[in-house]
Amino acid sequence: MEAPNQQVNGFKPEDITATINALKENPAMAKFEWRVRNKWINGGHNRSNIQDFYGGGKEDTSRTRPFVVDNGEPPILLGNNEGPNPVEFILHGLAGCMTTTMVLHAAAHGIPIDSVETKLSGDWDAQGFLGLDPTVRNGYKQIHIDFKIEGDLTDSQKEQLISFAQKSPVYDIVTHGVPVNIGLQEPEAVA
């Protein structure tokens, strides 16, 4: 049995248990709405502001300033490297979510991990995006993920950690189609 306030993988097991119990008692608290606001700057450069969200049964006010993220393109795709391009952000989001999911579930199961490193690559053909070949997909053809997990772990535990990573919300989004509703906002009237 672990001492109170002892952490596993940066999480306190009692916090995990308390959160799970709270969500079991009130499943509505598990509903979240994540939001991003994006504005085109020029060419392939645009900027997202990420701050407010709904979660835990209320609007969250913990973020006093937005996270500002620039999206760009490399020169070969007519950009100026103002930031990673959106398909690279998908890999970043996938890596981050799978890693966090893995270490959280490992902590909940009392499995300490010393280190997790992940290499991701995505096969993409610009012919689809540019409309040059209708048989080529616009997005990734395939994504490759390789984990390097270190710690006093058996091969069976490492396989269990990989199964935990597959509980990642972003892994689910990428591997199962998600309906996307597209609308059009009217410009705000200038006074």
Q: Which two tokens stand for residue 136?
A: 């080529």
Q: Which residues contact 118 (CB under 8 A, 6 or more apart)?
A: 95, 98, 99, 145, 146, 147, 148
Tell me the per-residue pLDDT of 47-83, one tens digit each, with 9 for 90 and over: 999 999 999 999 999 999 999 999 999 999 999 999 9
Q: Which residues contact 185 (CB under 8 A, 6 or more apart)?
A: none
Q: Does residue 71 contact residue 52 with C-beta atoms inside 8 Å?
A: no
Q: Which residues contact 4 (CB under 8 A, 6 or more apart)?
A: 14
Tell me the per-residue pLDDT of 137-160, one tens digit each, with 9 for 90 and over: 999 999 999 999 999 999 999 999
Q: Which residues contact 145 (CB under 8 A, 6 or more apart)?
A: 94, 95, 98, 118, 119, 120
Q: Where are the domains of the chain?
A: 85-176
**Residue range 88-101: average pLDDT?**
96
Flag whether pLDDT at 174 surpasses 80.
yes
Q: Does residue 147 contact residue 165 with C-beta atoms inside 8 Å?
A: yes
Token pair 């993220």 in the structure block, residue: 69
Tell me the per-residue pLDDT of 99-141, one tens digit each, with 9 for 90 and over: 999 999 999 999 999 999 999 999 999 999 999 999 999 999 9
* 85-176: CATH topology: GMP Synthetase; Chain A, domain 3 (3.30.300)
Q: pLDDT averaged over the chain?
A: 92
* Predicted pLDDT of residue 156: 95
Task: Provide the β-strand partners of residue 59.
Answer: 54
* Predicted pLDDT of residue 30: 87
Rounded Cα distance, 10 and 99, in Å = 13
Task: Provide the β-strand partners of residue 146.
Answer: 119
Q: Identify the three-state secondary structure at position 72.
A: coil
* Predicted pLDDT of residue 4: 59
